[in-house]
Amino acid sequence: MSDSGRWQGNARVLAVSLGKAIPLVVAGAGTEAVVLSGIRKHPVSTLLHPLSVQVRPLGLAGDEQADLTVHGGRDKAVYAYPSEHYPWWNARRRACGQPESGQPLPFGALGENLSMEGLLESDLWIGDLVRAGTALLRVEAPRRPCYKFNAALGYRHAVRDMVQSGYSGVYLSVLVTGQVRAGDAIIVQPGPRELSVDSVNQWRRDSRRQLF
């Protein structure tokens, strides 16, 4: 912790990803349905091509969400996810026999806007401030995955796995607009530190209150 109250480790943005609301095939109880979803994100800013992306009050420029009751809005404007969890998800998909599991998931595959390195859920509390690029963000909540996450990952227990593992990532609101790009450092300023992201995830595991 520095004298200014800011903590800065080796955290950085590895990729910035965007997605449009497009049809997604979801399965359940022996049936299939097609719904609109913006969960499929694709990197537009990488370490090789660090394009700057505008961060606006309701999210990144060019990004879309289909169901604002679950994702998006001011309290869920930006979704950030630790890249350290990707090997675990790749292993889970292989264990479930996914035909494409031989290929590692690309950044953005979990629906995140910011793929982070060096910053885990256990490092964050609700109300912490996060500076990425020139934008100032606030930690609002860990992700609570819906049934579309199963479809995006390609196996039926993906929602359960996210809840039980605590590998949720975090939703961020936008306090100050700006720009972010791959390679930007991530700086965290502690908030009230009354409720940790880990404790919210633990409560969800214990209560088994999941959205499918």
What is d(CA 188, CA 1) in angstroms, rounded to the nearest whole number?
10
Burial of 95 (0-12, 13-18, 19+ CB in 10 A): exposed
pLDDT at 208: 62
Q: Cα–Cα distance between 14 and 45 in angstroms, integer? A: 8
Tokens (6 digits) for 209: 């209150």
Q: How many CB atoms lie within 10 A of CB 113?
A: 25
Number of neighbouring beta carbons within 10 Å of residue 27: 12
Q: Is residue 1 part of a domain?
A: no
Report how many domains make up the chain: 1
For residue 2, is pLDDT > 70? no
- Position 33 in a domain: yes
Domain assignment present for residue 139? The answer is yes
CATH code, 197: 2.40.33.20
Q: How many CA atoms lie within 13 A of 140 on its CB side?
A: 19
Q: Which helix (H) or strand (E) holds 91?
A: helix 86-95
6 found inside a domain: no
Q: Which domain holds residue 105?
A: 12-207
Asked, for residue 5, whether it belongs to a domain, the answer is no
Residues 13-51: tens digit of each pLDDT: 999 999 999 999 998 656 789 999 999 999 999 999 999
* DSSP bridge partners of 56: 59
pLDDT of the residue at 211: 42
Higher pLDDT, 132 or 101: 132
Mean pLDDT of the chain: 91
Rounded mean pLDDT of 45-74? 93
Average pLDDT, integer, range 68-75 = 85
Q: What is the pLDDT of residues 110-150, one digit of tens each?
A: 999 999 999 999 999 999 999 999 999 999 999 999 999 99
Residues near 211 by beta carbon (within 8 Å), at least 6 away in sequence:
70, 144, 145, 146, 147, 159
Q: pLDDT for 171-200, tens place per residue?
A: 999 999 999 999 999 999 999 999 999 999
Asked whether residue 105 is assigned to any structural domain, the reply reads yes
pLDDT (mean) for 61-65: 95
Do the beta carbons of residue 140 and residue 131 sit within 8 Å? no
For residues 39 and 19, give the distance between their C-alpha atoms in angstroms, rounded to a whole number: 7
Confidence class for position 67, pLDDT limits 50, 70, 90: confident
Structural tokens at position 206: 């214990």
Does residue 188 form part of some domain? yes
Within-domain flag for 212: no
